[in-house]
Structure 1
């Protein structure tokens, strides 16, 4: 069981880092750019439950 968790840990870490970058971009984005960042965040919605 632990081996399985170790294999997915780097993938989860990458996902978390990507979400953090997108959230940081969203905070400083213009109104139009926020729509683009929000669309990118929506792409990750199915994976967020796994984090």
Structure 2
């Protein structure tokens, strides 16, 4: 069916590949999340100062 790999082996290898990708790219996801929070805070501050002016 899949050559020499059985279905459980193929599913396990797929799971390991996805988990490894998430583990490797986790710092990038965290940095993106921090950047987005910072942008939202900057927008709030800009709106507050604009209202005061």
TM-score normalized by the length of structure 1: 0.54
TM-score normalized by the length of structure 2: 0.52
Larger Rg: 2
Distance (whole Å) between structure 2 residues aligned to residue 23 and residue 8 of structure 1: 23
CA RMSD, Structure 1 to Structure 2 (Å): 1.2
Q: Structure 2 unaligned segments of length 5 or more: list them.
A: 1-17
- Flag as ranges the 4+ runs of structure 1 deviating above 6 A: none
Q: How many corresponding residue pairs? A: 31
Show CA shifts across 1:1-51 (max 9, x none). Answer: 2111101111000000000001000001045xxxxxxxxxxxxxxxxxxxx
- Higher relative contact order (Cα pairs below 8 Å, separated by 6+ residues): 1
